[in-house]
Amino acid sequence: MEDKKEEKNLDQELELFYEQFHIDKEILAFAKETEKELKDRFDRIDKIAEYNQMKVIQAMQKNRVSDAHFTGTTGYGYNDIGRETLEQVYASIFHTESALVRPQITCGTHALNIALFGNLRPGDELLCPVGKPYDTLEEIIGIRSSNGSLKEYGITYRQVDLLSDGSFDYQGILKAINEKTKLVEIQRSKGYQTRKTFSVEQIGELISFIRGIKKDVIIMVDNCYGEFVETIEPTDVDADLCVGSLIKNPGGGLAPIGGYIVGKECYVENAAYRLTAPGLGKEVGATLNVNPSFFQGLFLAPQVVSGALKGAILAANLYEKQGFFVIPNGTEPRYDIIQAVTLGTKEGVIAFCKGIQAAAPVDSFAVPEPGYMPGYDSDVIMAAGAFIQGASIELSADAPIKPPYAVYFQGGLTYYHAKLGILMSLQEMKKAGLLNL
């Protein structure tokens, strides 16, 4: 009895608090109802997080992580035991021979760049069997002409699009693989597209098909946004390399910079020779003072990813009920933390992003506007009030200003923050006359 009363009071107090954020009663009631319906799904996400938390702790224990690993090196960074141990921890988590986890990797694009340049040679061919890769890879590959692209070095490119139902075009892939095909790049997450994100199991099926055609081809997965969403990773289904950014999932919001490459030792070495220099490879690269945040961020990552996933699911359900097209839809399983919401208009996209920005702990007073971004082929609007610049494991939304005017929403270091962002985006949409509430 007493408990019930207390709970009721807390509910009311919370509502009053949301009102201070100018979220009106209709939106609150709408969100509360929807959140209740999601309880079972949220429970399942908690289980996955629990599993992955065990995986991370086990890897840290196995590699005997200790406080000696939290100091950093300077200069060349020879014998950086923190860096070396962290790389072993990553290798344990991903079940790979080797890992390269470095602050010198500036972003996800850079990590992919060194994995590609490190492992491809003039005359080789790169194959993307799942359609157009992430926007920033177009210039690396030379799909859009760019100084220093793989194309300039005589590395050719072939792409097989997905079939119209979103499935793999096995016939097309069979035809595309030839004697020059050296490396196959599979992008797990949809990125800035409206296709579906692949499950690790689906990626495994594609890999085994490709191996059946050409056994020794290097298979690399762009794992951005996918880490810790499932209990297995692409390296558990025979990918040779897995690549990602530390200011996304595996950095847990604490890594201030960095990228990772895990996989077969020889391929990881090749990437390291490209990152530093032939002959130097993994031996150099001072960590300065980042080791503690790399370890601690990795430790927190499963929990952080689970909060981001719950936020994405809440957003999908709320916007779907309001009649917007969302990918994934409200009930589909999740294979990354990105939620696409097609708002259909430039005004919708801007209102959504304004709401996300206004909910941020940092720069909440800023108003996002569309503008030019290097690497993208249209104006982009980005909402982020992040502790780490551009960290998209923190609550953020971005949208290229072009049809179908879809916004890509992701992250949230805590579910509560993600929820506040979604509520405020709804409020902005309502203010712009774009909701039925």
Ligand X SMILES: *Cc1c(COP(=O)(O)O)cnc(C)c1O
Positions in the binding site for ligand X (CB under 6 A): 107-109, 134, 136, 187, 189, 191, 222, 224-225, 245
Pick the closest to residue 296 from 46, 48, 56 (CA basis).
56
CA atoms within 13 A on the CB side of 158: 20
Amino acid at 100: L
Nearer to ligand X, 305 or 435 (CB): 305
Q: Which is nearer to ligand X, 80 or 185 (CB)?
A: 185
Q: CA 52 → CA 77, 228, 349, 413, distances in Å?
A: 31, 6, 34, 17
- In angstroms, the Cα distances linking 384 to 167, 343, 359, 363, 409 are 33, 19, 9, 8, 10
Structural tokens at position 207: 């890999």
For residues 351 and 407, which CB has a smaller minimum distance to ligand X in the complex?
407
Q: How far is the CB of 128 from ligand X (least distance, A)?
A: 12
Residue 123 Cβ vs ligand X, minimum distance, rounded to whole Å = 26
Residue for token digits 């991903």? 94
Residue 140 burial (10 A CB sphere; 0-12, 13-18, 19+): buried
Q: Whole-number minimum distance, CB 245 to ligand X, in Å?
A: 4
CB of 274 to ligand X, least distance (A): 16
Counting Cα atoms < 13 Å in the Cβ hemisphere of 398 gives 22
- 302 burial type by CB count under 10 A (0-12 exposed, 13-18 middle, 19+ buried): buried
User: C-beta of 194: minimal distance to ligand X in Å?
Assistant: 14
- Tell me the closest approach of the beta carbon of residue 430 to ligand X, in angstroms: 30
Closest distance between ligand X and the C-beta of residue 420, in Å? 24
Sequence-distant (≥ 6) Cβ neighbours of residue 121 within 8 angstroms: 155, 182
- Phi, psi torsion values for 420, nearest 5 degrees: -60, -40
- Which residue, 65 or 407, is less far from ligand X as judged by CB? 407
Q: Using CB atoms, what's the residue nearest to ligand X?
A: 108
